[in-house]
């Protein structure tokens, strides 16, 4: 049955190889089980967002399982999915922005925005207009967004580790208490994880988290509440998105920009990942990826399901390349991965114990941020109409602690640079419209 459904022989693989590939991919991406609830349950300053840690952890595992299973049985690709790094940081920035407006149900509205962006992604995939969306933003701007988010994620990691703190007379400074146990545990985890990555050890980030947690426990920084238990309740976040509140409580230009950014991030992340993994696995035929639309639909359904369950945007994981390297070639790999995520829900006490101490998860943020900044080489630095908006975007995101503001810098500057250089036809009318929308936001509203 498995042979007939997944075409194992045709893809030169077998059940055993697919299982090993699934284990490899799961180990390389399972850090999200620890990191996601830690990020969504508190804002950038450590203040509670109102989202229940255990419910987010369960929503993370279930949405990953649903989306990855669908990718396996519908698209027949060895590509895993889960709530994305970068998207979760933007999700928190949306909550912070909504809270600053005095709106109480910030995280519920943010889930509603994710839900709408997922539905739009679903429509984009169904009506086959994703290619047009891809052409709207220049490659330099796409890469700058990734770099900016990577810098922001790394900055948050350094902040959570207490290595960077606020200082008198300046915005930030290095903590003078460099020999503190918190910083020591962070440095230990960062170096260890980096060494594991350099040596190409499978599951490097996860192993780094676990080793840091063991050291923290020895030093009395973590008290383990147990290993396994029955799955926690998902009721605190299940179907709590407030869709009506988006239109009743938020200004038009804000919820429009939030939805567009979520949509673009999901579209670009997914297409980039499936093309990258597809190239590595040899799936690309005549410069086209077979069943690409099915993969995009799986991703879109995952985002909609994730919003309903109570987590941020679900997207395809580039870590899937590690499973492809281990021999995974069919959707059976994805089916196995989805089962691993279901099994993980029984380890909520362990997850909460580890993720409750920031110095343990902070190295993962810095490492993932470093991985995302590699896109800087793809920016056209010699073309100032491309490089200056890109620079404003990638610096604006971490320096304003807002992905939305960083994108605004770039989207306002980009069409202006093209317009004043006499190269107005080099970009789409939609980019000019986005620039006007972002500009009006700052001219007309104090948010």
> pLDDT tens for residues 103-132?
888 999 999 999 999 998 888 777 766 555
Can you read off the two tokens belonging to residue 212?
Answer: 């840091």
Q: 411: left (phi > 0), else alpha (psi -120 to 50), else beta?
A: alpha
Judge contact between 20 and 333, C-beta under 8 A: no
pLDDT at 264 > cutoff 80: no
Between 407 and 217, the more confident residue is: 217
Question: 323 is in which domain, residue-wise?
Answer: 2-377
> pLDDT tens for residues 394-403?
998 888 877 7
pLDDT at 40 > cutoff 80: yes
For the chain, the first-to-last Cα distance in angstroms comes to 57
> pLDDT tens for residues 185-234?
999 999 999 999 899 887 788 888 889 989 999 999 888 877 888 898 99
Strands (DSSP E) found in 305-413? 314-316
What is the chain's Cα-based Rg? Answer: 21
Please indicate, yes or no, if residue 406 is contained in any of the structural domains: no
pLDDT at 446 > cutoff 70: no
User: Which pLDDT value is given to residue 447?
Assistant: 47
Q: Taking Cα atoms as reference points, which of 428, 381, 369, 357 lies closest to residue 42?
A: 357
User: Which pLDDT value is given to residue 334?
Assistant: 95
> How much of the chain exceeds pLDDT 90, in percent?
35
Can you read off the two tokens belonging to residue 81?
Answer: 């999915």
Please indicate, yes or no, if residue 419 is contained in any of the structural domains: no
36-40, 266-270, 368-372 — which is least confidently predicted? 266-270
**Three-class SS state of 259:** helix
Cβ neighbour number for residue 401 with a 10 Å cutoff: 18
The residue behind tokens 């349950």 is: 41
The whole-angstrom separation of Cα 440 and Cα 359 is 40
pLDDT at 291 > cutoff 90: no
Cβ-based burial of 290 (10 A; exposed 0-12, middle 13-18, buried ≥19): middle
The whole-angstrom separation of Cα 69 and Cα 75 is 10
User: Which pLDDT value is given to residue 133?
Assistant: 54
State the pLDDT confidence band at 57, using cuts at 50, 70 and 90: very high
Most confidently predicted of 58-72, 156-170, 280-294, 322-336: 58-72
- Return the H-helix or E-strand segment holding 182: helix 181-198
Q: 227: which DSSP letter?
A: S
User: Which pLDDT value is given to residue 141?
Assistant: 84
Please indicate, yes or no, if residue 402 is contained in any of the structural domains: no
The whole-angstrom separation of Cα 363 and Cα 351 is 16
pLDDT at 135 > cutoff 60: no
Please indicate, yes or no, if residue 358 is contained in any of the structural domains: yes
Please indicate, yes or no, if residue 384 is contained in any of the structural domains: no
Question: Average pLDDT for residues 294-323, to the nearest whole number?
Answer: 89
Q: How many Cα atoms are found within 13 Å in the side-chain-facing hemisphere of 400?
A: 20
Domain count, the chain: 1
Q: 73: which DSSP letter?
A: I
Please indicate, yes or no, if residue 407 is contained in any of the structural domains: no
């Amino acid at each position: 049955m498995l042979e007939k459904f997944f075409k194992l022989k045709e893809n030169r693989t077998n059940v055993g190889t697919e299982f090993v590939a699934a284990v490899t991919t799961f180990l390389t991406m399972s850090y999200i089980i620890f990191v996601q609830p830690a990020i969504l349950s508190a804002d950038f300053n450590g203040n509670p967002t109102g989202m229940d840690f255990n419910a987010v952890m369960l929503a993370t595992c279930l949405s990953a399982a649903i989306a990855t299973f669908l990718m396996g049985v519908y698209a027949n690709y060895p590509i895993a999915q889960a709530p994305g790094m970068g998207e979760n940081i933007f999700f928190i920035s949306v909550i912070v922005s909504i809270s600053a407006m005095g709106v109480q149900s910030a995280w519920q509205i943010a889930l509603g925005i994710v839900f709408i962006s997922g539905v739009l992604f679903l429509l984009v995939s169904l009506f086959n207009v994703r290619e047009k969306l891809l052409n709207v933003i220049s490659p330099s701007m796409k890469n700058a967004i990734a770099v900016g988010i990577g810098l922001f994620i790394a900055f948050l990691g350094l902040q959570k580790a207490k290595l960077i703190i606020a200082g008198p007379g300046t915005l930030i400074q290095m903590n003078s208490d460099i020999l503190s146990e918190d910083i020591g545990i962070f440095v230990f985890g960062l170096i260890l994880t980096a060494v594991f990555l350099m040596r190409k050890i499978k599951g490097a980030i996860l192993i780094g988290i676990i080793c840091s947690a063991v050291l923290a426990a020895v030093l009395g920084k973590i008290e383990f509440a147990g290993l396994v238990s029955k799955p926690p309740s998902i009721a605190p976040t299940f179907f709590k998105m407030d869709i009506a509140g988006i239109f009743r409580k938020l200004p038009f230009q804000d919820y429009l920009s939030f939805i567009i950014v979520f949509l673009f991030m999901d579209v670009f992340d997914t297409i980039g990942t499936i093309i990258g993994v597809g190239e590595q696995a040899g799936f690309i035929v005549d410069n086209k990826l077979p069943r690409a639309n099915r993969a995009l639909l799986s991703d879109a359904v995952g985002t909609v399901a994730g919003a309903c369950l109570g987590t941020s945007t679900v997207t395809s994981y580039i870590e899937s390349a590690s499973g492809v390297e281990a021999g995974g070639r069919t959707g059976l790999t994805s089916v196995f991965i989805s089962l691993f995520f279901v099994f993980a829900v029984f380890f909520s006490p362990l997850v909460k114990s580890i993720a409750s101490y920031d110095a343990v998860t902070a190295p993962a943020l810095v490492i993932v941020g470093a991985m995302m900044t590699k896109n800087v080489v793809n920016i056209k630095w010699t073309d100032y109409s491309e490089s200056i908006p890109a620079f404003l975007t990638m610096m604006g995101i971490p320096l304003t602690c807002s992905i939305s503001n960083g994108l605004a810098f770039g989207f306002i500057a980009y069409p202006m640079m093209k317009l004043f250089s006499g190269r107005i036809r080099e970009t789409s009318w939609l980019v000019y419209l986005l620039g006007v929308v972002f500009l009006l936001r700052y001219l007309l509203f104090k948010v």
